[in-house]
Structure 1
Amino acid sequence: MSEWKPKRFWNAATVQEGEEGFSVTLDGRPVRTPAKAELQLPTRAMAEAIAAEWDAQENVVDPLTMPFTRSANAAIDKVRTQHAEVADMLAGYGDSDLLCYRATYPDALVARQAAEWDPALDWAEAALGARLVPVAGVVHQPQDPGALERLKTLTHEMDAFRLAAFHDLVGLSGSLVLGFAAARDWRDAQEIWTLSRLDETWQEEQWGRDEDAHAQAERKKAEFMHAKRFYDAAR
């Protein structure tokens, strides 16, 4: 049996500005989240992106074609209700950041990781006030508590919408530093995503591409790029 999808019942999606921000209405009726909260948005840019998604629906509503709507729903229904827990979880990536665990061989991979990842750690020290130290091997070594506390503070400062996007920037890249780097425009989001895939790219160069793994990586890349767009729209 195919999954039921609601039919389009409205003529036009419009953006409304109010005291609490921006909302999207369908023929004057406000869009609500799955938990029935009104979709109150922090910026006009985000509201316009969501309105465009609703306007683009044809005969039936397909949530898979509405990433901004889905992200806003998650921010309101999930992240806002457990903001501290989400922020703590993401800040925890700092103590085991992808960029800090380096190969011990071969020398070419060791050199590539240093050349491509060290600048991100240097940027984090200068821009975020937190120095994380790389280690050789995969055995956990704790980072400086002061640096971790600084990163935790910065994570907690995000509102629910930015934190929802940041969740995907960090989770998909495996790096708190790269999540901040993308959010703060250190480099182009495409380049930051490529940095997060350094080890996988190395393996492909040595052994060839696994098509299934490549397809999965491309899906994650698309999600990462959307998270960056959603973060930007929340500012």
Structure 2
Amino acid sequence: MQAFSTKVVSRLIQGRFPYFAQHRNYATRKRFYRNTGIVQNESKWEVTLDHRRLKTPGGKVLAVASEQLARALAAEWDAQTEHITQPTMHLTALCNTALDNPGKLSPHDITTYLLDFLPTDTLLFHSEDEEELKKLQAKKWTPVLEWFQKRFNVTQEISRGLELPPVAANTRAVLARYFLSYDFTALNAINFGVEALKSPILMLTCIERHLEPKEAVLLSRLEEEYQLSRWGRVPWAHELGQAELTARVAAALLVVHGCSDSHSARAKAHSAN
């Protein structure tokens, strides 16, 4: 497996939430606008706050590829009440990061990171000790792994210990082509969703509309939920964590599908001409 350089990893980490640390005051400032809207500018869509174009922290106009994504961004800003709660605005953060690219990443950087993430995928590590957990993982995870292998025509082993399961060169090649078929904005969002789920496979099931975000989050937390069912839980705390993860994955998918739907629409229009 190709080693992922420390430099690129640090750039990826820097790029995850680059503006929350730099603009702490911005996270709690009062809402300064009354209305939100969207406008089309050539092939891009922009968000407006009181008819002023929204900009990234880097000073770029926040322009996205589809009307659907622009409306979702405008709704996110419109949902802010007395104060702007920046850390919960995942769509805006994702689009800001993609446009400003503070880590100076390329699509190949993110693709390599995602491929190197695969051997650590949550779904590939099955219990070797607890029989009940092993049965639960087989029941819940195996159908997803079977779908993944069939969809991409690959074979993937699982691990029942601490060793990383091998990933075939063909699997890496197939997934590399798949990831690189998306533009940088979508790839950045895919990375965000993968890190939330700790699973490239679960993120792929959501991108391909095989699972809903809530289902994927429950599967990613399967072992944790199993332990909580045995030892007890603080209901509100765990539900809050689950809701936050679901929001992250859903935001990532809105960006991915917004970018890919726009690409498909342009391709169809070009073919018609």
TM-score with structure 1 setting the length: 0.86
> Take 1:7 and 1:106, find their aligned partners in 2: how far apart are those partners?
51
Amino acid of the structure 1 residue aligned with 2:90? P
State which of 185, 199, 212 in structure 2 corresponds to 1:188.
Answer: 212
Cα distance change of structure 1 residues 6 and 212 upon mapping to structure 2, 3 Å threshold: closer
Query: Quick one: structure 1 residues 232 and 104, their matched pair in 2 at CA, closer, same or farther if it must change by over 3 Å?
Result: same
Q: Give distance in 1, aligned partners of 2:88 and 2:232.
A: 32
Identity %: 26
Q: Which amino acid in 1 is paired with 2:247?
A: A
Map of 2:249 onto structure 1:
224
Contact 1:10/1:26 (8 A) holds in 2: yes
The answer for unaligned runs of 5 or more in structure 1 is none
Question: For this pair of structures, how many residues does the alignment match?
Answer: 234
| Equivalent in the alignment of 1:40 | 63
Cα separation, 1, equivalents of 2:88 and 2:226: 33
Structure 1 equivalent of residue 147 of structure 2? 123
Q: Could you say if the C-alpha distance between residues 27 and 204 of structure 1 is closer, same or farther in structure 2, counting changes exceeding 3 Å?
A: closer
Rounded to whole Å, the distance in 2 between the matches of 1:165 and 1:229 is 9
Contact 1:94 1:151 in 2 (8 A): no
Q: CA RMSD in A?
A: 2.7
> Cα 1:141–1:216, aligned 2, differ >3 Å: closer, same or farther?
same
Measured after TM superposition, the shift of residue 20 of structure 1 is 3.3
2:151 is the alignment partner of 1:149: no
- 1:200-215 to structure 2, matched below 5 A, reads 200-209=224-233, 214=238, 215=240
State the SS of the aligned residue for 2:64.
Answer: coil
Pick from 122, 127, 136 the counterpart of residue 160 of structure 2: 136
Shift of residue 55 of structure 1? 3.6
Alignment of 1:163 with 2:163, yes or no, is no
SS in 2 for 1:15: strand
1:63 corresponds to: 86
User: Do the aligned residues in 2 keep the contact of 1:182 with 1:188 (CA within 8 Å)?
Assistant: yes
| Stretches of structure 2 lacking an aligned partner (at least 5 in a row) | 1-23, 262-273
